[in-house]
Amino acid sequence: MRNLSLSSVDVIALAEGGIRSTAVDLDENVFYIASEKGVSDGATNVEIYRIDKNFVGASLEAITMFSATISGSGTQLISLRVIQDNRSLVAIMRNGDIITTSLDDEIPLMEVQGSVDDGFLAAAWSPDDSLLALITGTNKLILMTLTFDVISEAPLETTEFGQDAPINVGWGSKQTQFHGSLGKTAAQASTSNMLVGCSPDEDNIPRISWRGDGACFAVSSITTAGSHPHRILRVYDHQAVLQSTSESVPGLEHSLSWRPSGNLIASTQRFGFDGGGAGRNGRHDVVFFERNGLRHGDFELRPAHGLVPPPSQALNLRWGYKVKDIKWSSDSNVLAIWIERDHASDLVQLWTTTNYHWYLKQEISAPSDSKFTSMDWHPEIALHLILTTHTQFFLRAYAWEIITSLSKSPIDTGSVAVSDGSDVLLTPFRTQNVPPPMSSMQLALLAGPLDKSQFPRSAARVPVHTCFSPSSDVLGVLWEHGYVEVYHLRTRLGPGRGKVMQPTKIGICSLNETNNHCRQIVILASTCNADSLSFTTLILGSLSESDVVVITQFNGQRITETGAVAMTSRNGRLVRSSTDACVWEAEDGKLFRLNIDNQISTPFSRFSNFCFVAQHVTLSTTELCVGLTGSGKLQVCGGELSCLTLASNATSFAVASGYLIFTTGAHEAVFAPMEDLPTLLMSDNNSKDITSDWEKRRVERGSRIVVCVPSSMSLVLQMPRGNLETINPRPLVLEVVRQDLNAGQYRKAFFSCRKHRIDLNFLVAHDEIAFLEGLGSFVEQVHEVDHLNLFLTSLGQGTSPLSPTTIATISDALREKLEKTDLKTYVNTILTAHVVKAPSDHESALSLLLRLKDEEPALVEDAVKYIIFLVDADKLFDTALGMYDFSLVLMIAQHSQKDPREYLPFLRELRAIGDKNYQKYRIDDLLKRYKSALNNLARAGMCVSSIPKSPYQSRILPMSGPSHFDEAIQYIERHSLYQAALSIWSNSDRYEDVLTIYGDWLFERRDFRQAAAVFVEAKRPQKAMVAYEKALEWQELFELALRHSELVSNERIEDMAYRVSEDLVSKKRFAEAARVILDYTSDVKTAVITLVQGNEFSEALRITTLKRESKLIEDVIHPGALESMAQIVEDVTEMKEQLNKQLNRIRELRVKKVEEPDEFYGFEDTALHNVDVMTDVSMAPTAFTRYTVAPSAVSRSSKRSSRSKRKMERKVGSGRKGTVDEEEYLLRSIGKLVGRFSGTRSEGKKLLPHLIRFTAQHREDGLAMQRKLSEFEVELSATVEEIWPTPTDAVGIDGQTQTMQPLQDTWAVRMDDAQRQQKINPTERIAKPQVDGDGDEKDWKMKLFDLI
């Protein structure tokens, strides 16, 4: 669906004339022109001219010249080439001379490098300039190197097929076929009697063409083999070894070109004469060959389209024209055909193919009835065509463009125009989706007689550009020489019979002759009126130094030229717009706004690079321009805002429905809201982060946007092979749905969502308040029951479901509306409204069925079936049973799949129970509503012991007496209903019994403190004392025991004191244990021993003094102090040994981290845990040995089981020696060591004052202990400072700010997070411990020891 549009035209004139050939210097981007001038003494003079890339105001610069003898007729210079490797210019002459010159010389001089006496007929360099293929006048093929060394020299004529000769086993040949009654004579008959000859247009000169990779080249030459001379193709490799020979093709002509991509060799074939192809007279085809010489497709030229002169003129050529040459573009997409015509200027036609159809996209006519002298494509820049005439050099640049209609909804047609010769193929995608090469309408241009003054015969008949009006159904067509035709298409927008288009030509115009090389036509929207069809048209052309925009006006009858605006430079482009904006883009990307009235231009904005495809967009607050560069950069700019690159790999774009839609090389379609772009232009965000929040959709590889049709919510894409795919992207659908909802067209919005599978909850989420207000209109428009049911069931579904509160609000509002409208009709919808709420209101739905059972019994059966369809039958059965209505239960059971033998006996059994409360208890117990069951059981005064036989049956044990409280107690204990039981029996005489069983339950759960409080409330002091003792709540225990002295004797209290004291000592609560012994026994010695064990020497001394037990000081306290001192010294010694070992290991690890980082940070890629890996017996430690240094002995699969994953995860951070986590483990261990030392130091602080007071031995040992503690404190501080050298603000793992957990908590995610954490320095993740302590901890020494 793409058109080949003319982007720029550069022309350089040579007054002396004689231009014959061109060459391109790719390094310097310079063109060289060769001109043959003057003939004297059998020699011709060849002059070489240089042209810089900047053509504006440039002139030809003659750099050198040489003479050469004339050999034969025609052009003497057959090849001119710039060799990049040695910076030389090589000219190959027909007389056999090879002449070169160095381009780096100040005055280049042409020197003959060699000569062949037989002369040259053809020459061609390989694409990389490493090889030169030549054909001499005696039909010899010579292959030379860059230095003109001969690689191969052999005759061109040979009877061999080549090295790739096929092996014929007879399959499929005529001789192996069944011939019926004809018999064997038919098999022996000649397979072909066709005469094979040359075309009358044959020039008898061979041709050479290289493949794009330089591996092969093809030669087209005349062969004398056979009855008549004819053309044949031969394929050679890069050593000039014959590979294959083509089949004999009648009428094959001299033109030859190998497609750079390598799959086709193109030539031409004539039909309708003796020796030509079998076909009508005048038929002319472009034929294709494969590398093996076999035919591979063709297409026919179109002689009737301006190639054949009128009958009144005599023909010099047999058919009035001939093909002189054909050339493929460097990207293999365009085939250029050079045609020489009788009585008219030469033509160059550009053909492209899509979906196996060849389109004639462009025609170039030589100016002033002149002839072209050469035609070639730029070897590197695609779609740059180089043409020369006798006096002019042309560089024409083309680009791909899709011509689409920019009209907006509701008149948007989605029309696309495709040029094909003098026809325009039109397809309105809003009405029809016709795949190429077909179309909805084939509009024949230039129909009827033409005025020669407006359209001369020599002019190209293929239009250079077409465009649609953005506000009416009008098509404008422009030819390069300034001829314009305008058509009113009359496109049918809706379905119906008849033609989809009825185009009518409404105006023609021919611009002044001064406006040459017209390239683009644009119809403005400002004055466009669909009724009167008056509009303004802009036509972009080029003058000698600048572009010019010609303004024409169509008033309903004729087109008149009203003015022109000269631009600042050449080769610009008019920017398309759906409004009245007129913007011109210069070649450097600058944008200028055109004032049609004043005919002036003012700067508007700029792109960073020239964008051939661009569009102006008007937003609510600003104006933007969107453009796509040739390299794939999608750029946005506007006004004073800077240019922003949205994507660097974009392939196409379109603006529609408030979105900028573009496709990328990653095979995605991206939908960027246009209202977001101004904000992005003003922000400093990185362009890589811009598209992260935009909606994307995967598309087929290589897809490009053809057109976007807002009214039909469709986006048409074209695949690389040419076929179309129409999609309905979610953003486009939602935009139309939003418009419909805002306009109150709920039915249209509903069906759009339903058709395109959009969550129906979007109807509510768009504007919940407005939807509730318009709910009545919604019900009136979407009145079908099935559609309303679908809407309700979709509210909580999808990727963005509504909240339960919103669903309940919508369901209740809709239900109330339907109940008032027609309960009978919408009963199913009302039931649905009850069910879709969260949680579902099944009871209300069943209550509605009960009401209908009495009022409308005919509707009940279908309603019951419907609700069973919505809700699981077992849930409905249980809900009905929980409503205690057996008729409703029976109705649900009858319409479900339940077996009557299962539920009928159960229902009969329940109905047989006389006590309704007990009946409810049975039902609640079955439904596991235990609290309600207990409540009903308490009211009934009876209980059931259930032994289930089936889900609905149990055995009833008859009870005697009015009260069955014991069974209720069992039910409470079975289901742990203590809280409910306490509320039920709170004001009864059974309350204390319930409290007692509650306390027992707490006691069994070892919640002794709570159990004791419950026992006290239940007036069970014995159990309360046991619970207090277990909880070590000794104050409450002894208070309760003394208060109930009648229950507890003194002996029991003393025994209780010893037990509690032992338990407190086991919990290291020594002071409390001693207090219990002193208060409730007379054993002072045991109390003192307990205090000494807890290092409470101050309290022990106080007790001995208070109790007058001074003997205990020498017997208990003095020995105890020495034991405590010895323990502290031992602990410090142990900590010192640990510190030295861990510090040395940390130093080793840090050296290894610097010297061998790869081995130290060996991470395993969690994405490889399902990949088989080879054995690593002889390999160094790799990522697969991260958590162990032991290599595996055999090959194994790295696919991990759940058990191995858990085991591996436990290893992370385990700190095993040799793993990556060891350093972190050691740092944590030292942190714990600091904490341990702080505790030991505190114990020493409490002991030191007493050691100095006791004996001399105590004082000596105390001094030694203080020195030991002080030395280790200094050593520990130095170690901490070495490990944590500088303070860090990073918060460690212990008490630091934790990062947000990943949304998906999987093994791979956790392992990846662990790897990221391990890359951080452990000293930054682990908080630095404080050795000195705070406050009183710093002043722990006894200064008196320092004075001793």
Cα gap 764→792, rounded to integer Å = 11
Cα 1104 to the chain's mean position, in Å?
A: 83
Q: Locate tokens 């005759």: which residue?
A: 155
Describe the strand order of the beta sheet including 131-136 as a list of residue ranges: 120-125, 131-136, 140-145, 150-155
> Which pLDDT score is estimated for 218?
97
Strand partners of residue 64: 48
**β-pairing verdict for 216-223 and 207-210:** antiparallel
Distance set, CA 609 to CA 314, 573, 625, 927 (Å): 52, 13, 13, 74
Percent of all residues in the chain with a pLDDT value above 70, rounded to a whole number:
86
Secondary structure class of 864 (helix, strand, coil): helix
- pLDDT-based confidence at 679, cuts 50/70/90? confident
- pLDDT-based confidence at 1187, cuts 50/70/90? very low
> Which pLDDT score is estimated for 1119?
87
SS3 content of the chain, % helix, strand, coil (to 5): 35, 25, 40
* Residue 691 CB burial class (10 angstroms; 0-12, 13-18, ≥19): middle
Cα gap 256→206, rounded to integer Å = 9
Q: What is the DSSP letter of 409?
A: T
The overall average pLDDT reported for the chain is 84
Q: Following DSSP, what letter does each residue of 162-174 receive, concatenated? A: -TTPPP---TTSG
pLDDT in tens, 154-163: 999 998 999 9
**1271: its two tokens:** 């030395």
Cα gap 907→891, rounded to integer Å = 12
Q: Look at 59 and 882; give whichever has higher pLDDT.
A: 882
Nearest residue to 1250 (alpha-carbon basis) of 1111, 1339, 1338, 1344: 1344
CB neighbourhood size of 1230 (10 A): 22
Taking 90 as the threshold, does the pLDDT of residue 1146 lie above it?
no
Tell me the one-letter amino acid at 1031.
A
**β-pairing verdict for 30-40 and 483-488:** unpaired
Taking 90 as the threshold, does the pLDDT of residue 1038 lie above it?
no
- pTM of the shown model: 0.75
Cα gap 1283→50, rounded to integer Å = 73
> Which pLDDT score is estimated for 1082?
82
**β-pairing verdict for 613-618 and 573-577:** parallel
> Which pLDDT score is estimated for 416?
96
> Which pLDDT score is estimated for 1333?
64
**β-pairing verdict for 347-354 and 43-51:** unpaired
Q: Following DSSP, what letter does each residue of 721-757 receive, concatenated? A: TS-EEEE--HHHHHHHHHHHHHTT-HHHHHHHHHHTT
pLDDT in tens, 1270-1313: 888 888 888 888 888 765 443 333 434 344 444 455 656 665 66
Query: Is the Cβ–Cβ distance between 612 and 7 less than 8 Å?
Result: yes
Which range of 461-470, 522-531, 1334-1343 scores highest in mean pLDDT? It is: 461-470
pLDDT in tens, 778-822: 999 999 999 999 999 999 888 888 899 999 999 999 999 999 999
* Mean pLDDT value of segment 1124-1131: 87
Nearest residue to 942 (alpha-carbon basis) of 923, 924, 954, 960: 960
List the alpha helices (DSSP H) in 1018-1117.
1021-1031, 1034-1043, 1050-1066, 1070-1080, 1084-1093, 1097-1106, 1111-1112
Strand partners of residue 398: 6
Q: Look at 1102 and 539; give whichever has higher pLDDT.
A: 539
Q: Quote the crossing angle between the two packed helices 1222-1253 and 1097-1106, to the nearest 10°.
A: 30
- pLDDT-based confidence at 952, cuts 50/70/90? very low
Taking 90 as the threshold, does the pLDDT of residue 1128 lie above it?
no
Nearest residue to 1032 (alpha-carbon basis) of 1053, 1012, 1054: 1012
pLDDT in tens, 288-298: 999 999 999 99
- pLDDT-based confidence at 1216, cuts 50/70/90? low
pLDDT in tens, 1050-1080: 888 888 889 988 998 888 888 888 888 888 8
Query: Is the Cβ–Cβ distance between 544 and 580 less than 8 Å?
Result: no
Q: Locate tokens 């909606």: which residue?
A: 695
pLDDT in tens, 112-127: 999 999 999 999 999 9
Query: Is the Cβ–Cβ distance between 576 and 469 less than 8 Å?
Result: no
Taking 90 as the threshold, does the pLDDT of residue 1214 lie above it?
no
* Mean pLDDT value of segment 1157-1171: 51
CB environment 1181-1218: b (16+ within 10 A), e (fewer): beebbbbeeeeeeeeeeeeeeeeebeebeeebbeeeee
**1077: its two tokens:** 């012994």
